[in-house]
Structure 1
């Protein structure tokens, strides 16, 4: 496997792994954390399905309509939940970006038995989404860098504060792992948008 097929496999594995970890985060004691983890799990598995190399499974012509329906529903949910949490605005952008990619990558016909894709999306919208995800990835990556504490607190790297109601300190409730998953999905989204 070389080139686009290898990229598709890597994106699929990264997204599926992230979705699986988000499923583990559903055990949190916090309702807000469970809600965010559920949306992120759907996003991770949806991105994995969309990134599956076409050399392995050619999606049916109606498959992209399923992506639009699932992520359109996710966008409505994120819009509703954004009333109480600004993090859901990021989910809204992500689900709408998935709807956009599903529409722009929908098969447009066949030539010699191979599906053809539409020539691409709107360059301005694609560019705006690429800038958004580039900034998001930089911000999330910077948040993962340990910040040294002052000498009065004993030194050593500081750990990110636990969100209120994060529950037990098990590996599924660690905020830095949740942030690393969001970083991974941001990178995967940026890579997928480059193909539009």
Structure 2
């Protein structure tokens, strides 16, 4: 799934740091932050694990079906939660993308890090790339006014309750997803 080792390790670091911050967000006093933070943390750590360069570690054959099962369960949870929050729709698409990548990696010949093998961009990969590219652009645009609005509000919320930090986490995971899909 990955190219050179240096960008792969940078992606691992980005996703792991994002997952760690999302775990901290789970301690927020704001219910909405807590409810979304768990899914964000799972995505961050799952993406970090999937992004480890093949030169450093080749996962065993059972790893890809295990990823698919974990993210399939997360997708079912997100599907159930979609009725309550639009953000959960993004979680549903993200977990479905992780299931898709795990299935592709499990089906690929060799080490499991070969991806599609140069057969072109399949329509599912293309659709996911379009979605996550649009998500990154939209979230990036929303991030700038979010930081200005918090500063102008006068009161400084706790560091775990800052919506612009949550958006920044989702932006970094969206960028990571685009990178992973491009490498697939």
Scaled by the length of structure 1, the TM-score of the pair is 0.83
SS at match of 1:59: coil
Q: Which has the higher helix share?
A: 2
Are residues 1:95 and 2:95 paired?
yes
* 2:24 equivalent in structure 1: 24
CA contact (8 A) 1:19 1:43 kept: yes
* 2:136 equivalent in structure 1: 137
Q: How far does residue 126 in structure 1 lie from its aligned partner after superposition?
A: 0.8
Are residues 1:86 and 2:83 paired?
no
SS at match of 2:150: coil
* 1:165 equivalent in structure 2: none
1:20-53 deviation line (CA, Å, top 9, x unaligned) = 0000100112333212000000000000000011
1:107-136 deviation line (CA, Å, top 9, x unaligned) = 6444xxx56635358611111111101110
* 1:179 equivalent in structure 2: 167
In structure 2, relative to structure 1, the CA distance for the partners of 1:66 and 1:84 (3 Å cut) is: same
Unaligned runs of 5+ in 1: 148-156, 163-167
Paired residues, number: 178
CA contact (8 A) 2:59 2:112 kept: no
1:136-185 deviation line (CA, Å, top 9, x unaligned) = 001100011238xxxxxxxxx433899xxxxx822111111010000000
In structure 2, relative to structure 1, the CA distance for the partners of 1:89 and 1:160 (3 Å cut) is: farther
Q: How far does residue 54 in structure 1 lie from its aligned partner after superposition?
A: 1.4
Say what the alpha-carbon RMSD is for the aligned residues. Answer: 2.4
Are residues 1:117 and 2:105 paired?
no
Q: How far does residue 105 in structure 1 lie from its aligned partner after superposition?
A: 1.4
CA distance in 1, matches of 2:113, 2:41: 30
Higher relative contact order, structure no. (Cα contacts within 8 Å, ≥ 6 residues apart): 2
Unaligned runs of 5+ in 2: none
Q: Which has the higher strand share?
A: 1
